[in-house]
């Protein structure tokens, strides 16, 4: 067995010390993040309570009921909303403290490379990104369902968006339908028609005075129905007082709820996108941007983690205040780019995939630039 020399002993000690430093940075990162997010979530809840106290009183809800029917959904929503921003702030805050106490200088002076220093930051960013990725796909949509249902029932004016007129949509690849007026509360419509086409010719037509949703059979009930089947010059007419038909849309699909994309988990959101593409509905880019952003936002967490670590690792005059100021400017710029890309996709011709990922690409280049310029 070879005897361990002094040089080997020193190297082993350095390796052990580096592992301890990794854990020290990693735990500081995670602890600071959760401290920041919980603190500002508590502040957000207090502010929200002050705004909705009258609504809680009018609804005659107890404190337990308020928590169950609203804040159990509001808290995950606000955490996901603040997640990337406070990952960034947490990294800048604790890294700036390390730099001001000359701890980073000591780590680099021990022979540790700057790349090696960033390893615990990357691991911490990956952990938080995975948490956010899973939350965006399952937990946050569930929470948004609770939050938006409460606001619809107790905050927004009852029946504000209950009635819609002149609804037209594509049911499948060869069928089109329309409803003259529809009541979302009663799930009842007037003046329904459906045309089935073959090429450029109508081969089947059905009209009804009323269309109602049957909650038992989960089908649509047509009242005072007239069916026409057209075969060349031959036409067959059939009349019924009532007819139940199974369409690929439900009362929820007729509400035109602009927040529906926030309430659906990723699997249901993909199903809705396919259905809307089949129908030829407008506003489908909003759904696609939401879908792609659920994967893009976790990557944002990693990018902002690296930017924060690179910026705050340099010891400068002014300390944490300067680091935080620069960090806030970068975060505001990111939010600005994100909003602009969403608007250009929703109102313009920017593809939704590019709209969701372009802020990450731009700030990914910024990360690389800052890394190259950072003192090693």
pLDDT 10s digits, 126-172: 999 999 999 999 899 999 888 888 877 776 654 445 677 778 887 77
User: Same domain for 369 and 343?
Assistant: yes
What pLDDT shows up at residue 300?
Answer: 92
- Specify whether 152 is located in the same domain as 17: yes
Please tell me whether residues 19 and 148 are part of one structural domain.
yes
**Whether residues 141 and 234 fall in one domain:** no
Last residue of a domain, one of 204, 236, 255: 255
Residue 127 is predicted with a pLDDT of 94
| 24 and 105 assigned to the same domain | yes
Domain boundary residue, one of 233, 255, 277: 255
DSSP 8-state class, residue 133: H
Q: Is 1 a member of any domain?
A: no
Average pLDDT, rounded, for the chain: 82
Pair (167, 151) in one structural domain: no
26 and 117: one domain?
yes
Within a domain: residue 263? no
Number of domains in the chain: 2
Q: 187 and 319: one domain?
A: no
245 within a domain of the structure (yes/no): yes
In a domain, 268, yes or no: no
Q: Is residue 73 part of a domain?
A: yes
Q: How far is the C-alpha of 197 from the C-alpha of 204, rounded, in Å?
A: 7
pTM for this prediction: 0.75
| Structural domain boundaries enclosing 296 | 13-156+287-373
Q: Is residue 276 part of a domain?
A: no
Q: Which two tokens stand for residue 94?
A: 């604790």
The reply to whether 43 and 114 lie within a common domain is yes
Please check the confidence at residue 112 and state whether its pLDDT lies above 50: yes
How much helix, strand and coil, in percent to the nearest 5, is found in the chain?
Answer: 65, 20, 20
Query: Is residue 8 predicted with pLDDT exceeding 70?
Result: no
Residue at which a domain ends, from 235, 255, 275? 255
Q: Are residues 73 and 192 in the same domain?
A: no
Distance of alpha carbon 81 from alpha carbon 262, whole angstroms = 12
User: Which whole number is the average pLDDT over 53-76?
Assistant: 83
**152 plus 182 within the same structural domain:** no
In whole angstroms, give the CA distance from residue 202 to residue 213: 26
105, 182: one domain: no
Confidence of residue 256 (pLDDT cuts 50, 70, 90): low
Do the beta carbons of residue 155 and residue 259 sit within 8 Å? no
């Amino acid at each position: 067995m070879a005897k361990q020399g002094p040089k080997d002993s020193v190297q082993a000690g350095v390796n052990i010390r580096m592992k301890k430093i990794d854990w020290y940075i990693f735990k500081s990162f995670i602890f600071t993040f959760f401290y920041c997010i919980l603190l500002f979530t508590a502040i957000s809840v207090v502010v929200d309570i002050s705004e909705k106290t009258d609504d809680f009183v009018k609804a005659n809800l107890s404190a337990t009921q308020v928590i169950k029917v609203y804040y159990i959904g509001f808290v995950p929503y606000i955490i996901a909303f603040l997640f990337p921003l406070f990952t960034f702030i947490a990294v800048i805050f604790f890294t700036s403290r390390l730099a001001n106490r000359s701890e980073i200088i000591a780590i680099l002076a021990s022979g540790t490379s700057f790349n090696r220093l960033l390893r615990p930051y990357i691991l911490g960013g990956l952990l938080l990104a995975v948490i956010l990725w899973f939350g965006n796909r399952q937990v946050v949509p569930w929470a948004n369902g609770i939050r938006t249902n409460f606001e619809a029932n107790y905050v927004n004016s009852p029946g504000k968006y209950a009635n819609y007129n002149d609804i037209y949509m594509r049911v499948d690849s060869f069928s089109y339908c329309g409803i003259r007026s529809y009541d979302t509360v009663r799930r009842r419509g007037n003046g329904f028609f459906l045309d089935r086409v073959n090429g450029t010719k109508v081969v089947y037509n059905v009209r009804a005075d009323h269309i109602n949703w049957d909650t038992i059979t989960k089908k649509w009930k047509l009242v005072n129905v007239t069916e026409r089947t057209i075969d060349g010059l031959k036409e067959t007419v059939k009349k019924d007082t009532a007819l139940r038909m199974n369409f690929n849309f439900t009362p929820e699909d007729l509400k035109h709820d602009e927040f529906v994309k926030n309430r659906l988990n990723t699997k249901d959101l993909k199903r809705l996108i396919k259905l809307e593409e089949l129908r030829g509905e407008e506003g489908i880019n909003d759904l696609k941007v939401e879908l792609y952003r659920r994967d893009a936002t976790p990557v944002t967490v990693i990018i902002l983690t690296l930017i924060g670590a690179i910026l705050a690792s340099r010891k400068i005059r002014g300390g944490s205040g300067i680091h935080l100021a620069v960090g806030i400017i970068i975060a505001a710029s990111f939010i600005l780019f994100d909003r602009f890309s969403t608007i250009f996709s929703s109102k313009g011709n920017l593809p939704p995939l590019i709209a969701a990922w372009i802020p990450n690409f731009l700030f990914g280049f910024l990360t690389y630039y800052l890394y190259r310029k950072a003192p090693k």
